[in-house]
Amino acid sequence: ILAILELEHIPTSTVIIFSGTHFKSKKAFVESRKNQAEAIVKLLLADYSDRSYLILAGGYNGGSDEPFYSVIRSMDLQSSY
């Protein structure tokens, strides 16, 4: 699941992309979370890579030691944790 909002700061015409997701929970779904992250990164880079302001928020249901975390970090976001 990924919801995307394209918001505009009217005074400056700056477009902000806000995306939110929710990954499967429980240890059994480690691979599923990685697959979800890969699909999201692929979509966001394909459709929104030229945007300066991109927020990816979500309930990731896993720790920074899981594969999905490095997939999201690979987007080279200014801040991610």
Domain boundaries, the chain: 2-73
The pLDDT, as a whole number, for residue 76 is 81
Look up tokens 């899981």; give the residue: 66
State the pLDDT confidence band at 59, using cuts at 50, 70 and 90: very high
Any idea what DSSP says for residue 39? H
The pLDDT, as a whole number, for residue 75 is 87
Note the pLDDT tens digit of each residue in 5-58: 999 999 999 999 999 999 999 999 999 999 999 999 999 999 998 877 999 999
Q: Which amino acid is at 71?
A: V
